[in-house]
């Protein structure tokens, strides 16, 4: 008897948030797309959480939908609620509950994202009573060829930056000066960066990345309290706002070279064979909160399973997934997004393809 809880599921593609999205559509192979448009610069892949402060008419904005093998389509979080232990597994639920334990996105910077940072878990617990901070990571999968300068990111404090200096420009609302206190790094396709809590950063114009992060949407920008909308200031005391934001940064700047050593990941081959190789892009060397690898396949191999669910993105080529001893299969191609329940018997991939695989906290 067929059990859909032990098969791969196709995630429904979405786009939300800010102005952009052209490169997401190109990556997905959409030839008659809208190009850059409002609410198009992000895609939330496999998300079981909505954006912070979602619109009243769309409280699930950001939550992923899924198409099941039996043809049903619904929000992923609702399907998980049907039988979480069978879909997610006991080990996963002991660490992450009924959440998938990570948040995965495409980010397409038609314009530079705002300079920001995210809290560590400790700071998030103290200031928001949240069990999760927002450590995150970027894997560069594309760059624009029509921008004024090559794709770049702002990442990490320069050597000698102090909280006093940062506060001076913050209270002056001098964004160019704040950005100049951070390293500007040109990026190339295939690079991976880890962004720990407290690290200043901004995704620069021209970058298309896959972002993997903790399950939190706490983002701290660089706007002083006096520049916030009046309705926000009414219930947010100035002293508390300033300390929550300014105290979230970790002021430990360094040289350009040391900064790259800290945050740009060196890919590690975790297995290889006649079929190709799999490289760890972000893993235990950087964080215990999540990990992701990329499988470069020319042939056939079983997928590494950890007893936890996974989310996969086909980043290149085409082929198929095979399970149940070869009796079941699914055609896959570049741009597809897939949810893997924790237990799929004999799950393998075959073809000429690249498969990006995300793992939640506790799995590595």
pLDDT exceeds cutoff 90 at 235: no
Lowest mean pLDDT among 24-38, 80-94, 240-254, 319-333: 24-38
How distant is the alpha carbon of residue 60 from its chain centre? 18
Confidence of residue 2 (pLDDT cuts 50, 70, 90): confident
Neighbours of 24 (CB within 10 A): 26
Confidence of residue 159 (pLDDT cuts 50, 70, 90): very high
Confidence of residue 1 (pLDDT cuts 50, 70, 90): low
Q: How far, in Å, CA of 248 to CA of 150, rounded?
A: 30
Digit-coded pLDDT (tens) for 199-225: 999 999 999 999 999 998 899 999 999
In Å, the largest CA–CA distance within the chain is 67
CATH architecture of 111-264: Sandwich (2.60)
**pLDDT number for residue 151:** 97
**pLDDT number for residue 32:** 82
Digit-coded pLDDT (tens) for 266-308: 999 999 999 999 999 999 999 999 999 999 999 999 999 999 9
How distant is the alpha carbon of residue 121 from its chain centre? 17
111-264 and 268-360 have identical folds? yes
Digit-coded pLDDT (tens) for 162-178: 999 999 999 999 999 99
Q: Give the C-alpha distances (Å, rounded to integers) separating 215 from 134, 147, 290.
A: 7, 32, 10
Per the DSSP assignment, residues forming a β-bridge with 312 are: 338, 357
Q: Which of 160, 155, 261 is nearest to 198 (CA)?
A: 155
Fold of 268-360: Jelly Rolls (2.60.120)
Q: How do the domains of the chain map onto residue ranges?
A: 111-264, 268-360
């Amino acid at each position: 008897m067929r059990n859909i809880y032990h098969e791969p599921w196709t995630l429904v593609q979405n786009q939300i948030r800010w102005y952009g999205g052209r490169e997401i559509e190109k990556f997905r192979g959409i030839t008659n797309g809208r190009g850059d448009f409002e609410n198009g610069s992000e895609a939330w892949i496999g998300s079981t959480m909505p954006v912070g402060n979602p619109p009243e008419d769309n409280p699930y904005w950001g939550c992923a939908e899924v198409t099941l093998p039996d043809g049903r389509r619904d929000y992923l979080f609702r399907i998980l609620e049907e039988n979480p232990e069978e879909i997610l597994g006991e080990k996963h639920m002991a660490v992450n509950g009924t959440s998938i334990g990570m948040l995965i996105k495409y980010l397409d910077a038609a314009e530079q994202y705002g300079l920001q940072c995210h809290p560590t878990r400790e700071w998030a617990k103290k200031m928001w009573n949240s069990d999760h901070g927002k450590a995150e990571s970027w894997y560069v999968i594309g760059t624009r060829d029509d921008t004024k300068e090559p794709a770049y990111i702002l990442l990490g404090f320069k050597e000698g930056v102090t909280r006093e200096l940062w506060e001076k420009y913050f209270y002056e609302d001098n964004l160019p000066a704040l950005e100049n206190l951070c390293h500007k790094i040109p990026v190339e396709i295939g690079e991976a960066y880890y962004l720990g809590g407290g690290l200043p950063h901004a995704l620069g114009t021209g970058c298309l990345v896959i972002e993997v992060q903790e399950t939190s949407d706490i983002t701290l920008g660089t706007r002083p309290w006096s520049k916030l909308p009046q309705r926000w200031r009414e219930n947010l005391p100035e002293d508390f706002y300033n300390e929550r934001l300014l105290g979230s940064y970790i002021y430990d700047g360094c040289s350009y070279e040391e900064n790259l050593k800290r945050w740009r990941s060196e890919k590690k081959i975790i297995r290889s064979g006649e079929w190709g190789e799999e490289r760890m892009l972000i893993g235990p060397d950087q964080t215990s909160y999540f990990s992701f690898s990329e499988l470069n396949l020319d042939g056939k191999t079983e997928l590494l399973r950890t007893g936890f669910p996974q989310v996969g993105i086909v980043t290149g080529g085409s082929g198929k997934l095979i399970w149940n001893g070869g009796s079941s299969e699914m055609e896959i191609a570049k741009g597809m997004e897939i949810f893997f329940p924790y237990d799929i018997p004999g799950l393998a991939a075959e073809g000429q393809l690249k498969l990006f695989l995300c793992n939640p906290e506790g799995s590595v």
